[in-house]
Structure 1
Amino acid sequence: MSQPVVNLSYECVEEVPLHRVRGNQLGILLSVIATVLTQQWWILALPLVVQLISRTYGVKYNVFVRLFSPLLPVSPRTEARELLRFNNLLAILFLVVTLAAHYLGLTVLSYISLGMLTAAVVAALSGFCLGCFMYFQYKQFRLRQQRH
């Protein structure tokens, strides 16, 4: 039985190896943990910048992927780039809301948004992609709307 071929380059592809996806998620989670432990909310600017750069220039320029994916076992499983872009947008949204709410003095909202981001990342690291589920539901909704 042959081993599946895993794309080890960082070039923009339609499918991204799961260990790279996990590397990004781990970077976000570590940033959240550091923020909560130190109460230094500016730390969340780091994953925000990383996600914005990754969204603009691709996974090749994602610092979290570069730092953390080599520490994880190489995975032959992949995730679709389309889903990753949606999840990336969700992460950016949660980070922007969290930071804006914190600096506007809306403490409860900042913790709710940070909690939602953390739950999504922990679920994803555990094998359930909440963003993928939401994207699927959105696509189903759009399909039903087109039929009527």
Structure 2
Amino acid sequence: MTTELKSSDYDCIDEVPLHRVRGNQLGILISVIAAFITQELWILFIPLAVQLISRTYGVKYNLFVRLLSPLFPRSSVTESRELLRFNQLLAILFLTLALIGYAIGSIVFSSIFLGFLTVAVILALFGYCPGCFIYFQWKQFLSRRRAS
């Protein structure tokens, strides 16, 4: 017997439906594109704030998920909340470093980290999650280290 999630149910126990994850990724990508087109990197504070709030209080408080996940077909496929939190941490890191580069006047530094974020988000939207790969490698490293 399976239970179907209601569209208002953001409190999954350990899993987040993929359409919600995609909504978050799309929000980040739209913000990066808007910042690039307008050359106003302060726009990057929006996805940074969204990720910090979501990481602190949960997916149900993620503005991108609320606004953009309805654009994707409902999915019964899920992503681990642990993976989502790790990927949010990477997004926070890349956004913070890009903004620091912008603040100190180093467009090259800023562009490198913004490029990392953009590539990661585009790949994730197309089904390959670089953050998930990095996380898996990290977990394997820790497991091998404990075993030896």
- Aligned-partner Cα distance in 1 for 2:121–2:63: 17
Gaps of 5+ in 2: none
- Aligned-partner Cα distance in 1 for 2:30–2:38: 12
Q: Which amino acid aligns with 2:109?
A: L
1:26 Cα deviation (Å)? 0.2
TM-score (norm 1): 0.95
- Is 1:49–2:44 an aligned residue pair? no
Instruction: Provide the aligned C-alpha RMSD in A.
Output: 1.5
Secondary structure at the aligned position of 1:53 is classed as: helix
- Is 1:10–2:1 an aligned residue pair? no
Give CA-to-partner distance per residue, 1:120-142, whole Å, 9 cap, x none.
00000000011000000000111
- Aligned-partner Cα distance in 1 for 2:4–2:31: 32
- Is 1:137–2:137 an aligned residue pair? yes
Gaps of 5+ in 1: none
Q: Which amino acid aligns with 1:86?
A: F
- Aligned-partner Cα distance in 2 for 1:4–1:133: 30
Q: Is contact 1:12-1:58 (8 Å) kept? A: no
TM-score (norm 2): 0.95
Identical aligned residues as a percent: 62
Q: How many residues align?
A: 147
- Is 1:90–2:72 an aligned residue pair? no
- Write out the 4+ residue segments of structure 1 that deviate beyond 3 Å after TM superposition: 2-8
